[in-house]
Structure 1
């Protein structure tokens, strides 16, 4: 169960990703697309939660669907999106025109973008259906490096929050890879699932722990020190898992959203790991994030044209790391 759920509806826009601002506790961005991302333009929305609901701050349109969004860690107004036309867009939400830069090197859809969280880095990683990941410094017009190794579509690229110059990628080839940016190679390759992996995330408190979510409806938690088998397998979803996120306020808590229309919360160290299942969407749930500023607050978005912000009651009794 969840407490009061605040809802923002944007007609004819189907949500793919949400991310909370690292600077403003009540601000978030949502990447969305017309016609379920199959055709039409994309829109990035900047929203703000208030006492009376969720308000629209600004939005910008792009000529193709937008599948992911990430906020800058060093400029409160800048965010990056990834598009179906193979490009990344850099936006300044304080400018009326919005668009600052277009990065156009990928050959197919950009399905994942992520801004590095580690100090001293101002890098973005992107993952594409062209089987390649790229690392970008937005002060430069071209990518710093391109990373090849996956034999299938890359659905997810996520920086380690604890190890500089390190990111993970999840692919339709069933593998999870951990990359060393300076060396330009994948240091770890895990055959994590027998089916496509649509999402991965790093634990915020343990540099060796990641989670994968796949088309086989399972989440698997991995320890990089021994990758022969997962340290936990979380079962309950009935369709493909679209996105997974570790909580920034708990060591072992994570959330997942799925094409089964549900949001689920887990503690992977418990014997019965499923904490709760929320069924408050009427279409595929694609976007998910925890609010790093407000303990236990969660935001999600779905193909039902809604963005929702809420606090799951299953997390309220758990001690938070502050």
Structure 2
């Protein structure tokens, strides 16, 4: 069953499930496809009756990514088009608690360190054209995906990367760590491919997955299965993968525009949320993940098409 919500004239860029509450997530959106106009942060709860907005926050520029605090269930940090980093308390009906001007151009990604003792926020921006994400298993370690076609692994205590991977033939738009192996990293690119890498030996990829017709905007690894990956793309689809197979297990076609945001629920095995430029937000379980793990090994992908009224 797919639950859907339409954000009217706001176009979805990022969705993140709460690490604390299984039925809560946020969606960062922008007006006019992020080119101009305002931005809106939606705080949603998943109810038996559907997706319900519990807080809506407006900002004077587009919002492009969001991350939950790892030490406070009510705090969200959001990246804005004016270079600001916004900190919200979702119990507060007013605007952000703080607004830090950290970048000269739009903040394209934000991530909160999973190590509570460190409590760092990682940001990336179009002033350097990268996407950045903390390792869930290696304290102080993070990876960046860049427009220079590389994937880099960093230690926050040193200024130079620990390794630089010549990852793709086109810009690398996204990356994510395997939740079960601290050495495995996945990347997605405008060359339409997804590749897996072992950061100890990265002369060639561990695996390559193909099938997207346009750029891979985001990849997310499952918190329940080390072989499961989901991706979304400018080809309007979300795809579910077994990383041991070169082709998708399931193709979900329920958007009519670029799909930008994607996340796995940390509490409900197999549940995914996505959002796109068609202003639609969907919460659902791919059929091959009904029990949280991949079901069967099919030679051809299962194609699921859902029509949602505007």
TM range (shorter): over 0.9
Aligned partner (choices 25, 30, 34) of residue 28 of structure 1: 25
Indicate the residue corresponding to 2:210 in structure 1.
235
Q: Can you list the C-alpha shifts for 1:241-291, whole angstroms capped at 9, x where unaligned?
A: 111000001011100000000000101123x54210010111110000000
Does 2:244 align with 1:269?
yes
Q: Secondary structure at the residue paired with 1:314?
A: helix
Q: Does 1:225 align with 2:222?
A: no
2:230 matched to which residue of 1? 255
1:146-165 to structure 2, matched below 5 A, reads: 153-154=129-130, 156-165=131-140
Query: 1:136 corresponds to which residue?
Result: none
List structure 1 runs of 4+ shifted beyond 6 angstroms. Answer: none
Q: Which residue of 1 aligns with 2:94?
A: 97
TM-score normalised by length of structure 1: 0.89
Aligned length in residues: 294
Q: In the TM superposition, what whole-angstrom CA distance separates every residue of 1:22-41 from its partner, at most 9, and x where no partner exists?
A: 11100000000000000000
After TM superposition, list the pairs within 5 Å mapping 1:169-248 onto structure 2. Answer: 169-248=144-223
CA contact (8 A) 2:218 2:233 kept: yes
Q: Secondary structure at the match of 2:33?
A: helix
Give the secondary structure class of the aligned counterpart of 2:143: strand
Give the TM-score, by structure 2 length: 0.93
What are the Cα deviations for residues 166-188 of structure 1, in whole angstroms up to 9, with x where unaligned? 11010111011111101232101
Deviation digits for residues 51-92 of structure 1, max 9, x if unmatched? 110001001111111110001111111101111111111111
SS in 2 for 1:185: coil
After the TM superposition, which residues 65-76 of structure 1 pair with which residues of structure 2 at under 5 Å, given as runs?
65-76=62-73
Distance 1:158 1:92 in 2: 22
Q: Are residues 1:298 and 2:262 paired? A: no
Distance apart, 1:118 and its partner CA: 2.3
**Residue 17 of structure 1, aligned match among 14, 23, 27:** 14
Kept in 1, the 8 Å contact 2:145–2:173? The answer is yes
Q: Counterparts of 1:253 and 1:208 in 2: how far apart (Å)?
A: 16
How far apart are the structure 1 equivalents of 2:53 and 2:292? 32
Q: Secondary structure of 1:36's partner? A: helix
Where in structure 2 are the equivalents of 1:11-90 lying within 5 Å?
A: 11-90=8-87
Task: Tell me the CA shift for residue 317 of structure 1.
Answer: 5.6
> Could you give the per-residue CA deviations for residues 184-215 of structure 1, whole angstroms, max 9, x where no partner exists?
32101111012111110000111110110000
Q: SS at 2:165's partner residue?
A: strand
Change (3 A) 1:196 1:124: same
For structure 1, the 5+ residue unaligned runs are 132-152
Q: Tell me, in whole angstroms, the C-alpha distance in 1 between the residues paired with 2:192 and 2:218.
A: 11
Q: CA deviation at 1:316?
A: 2.5
CA positional deviation for 1:105: 2.4
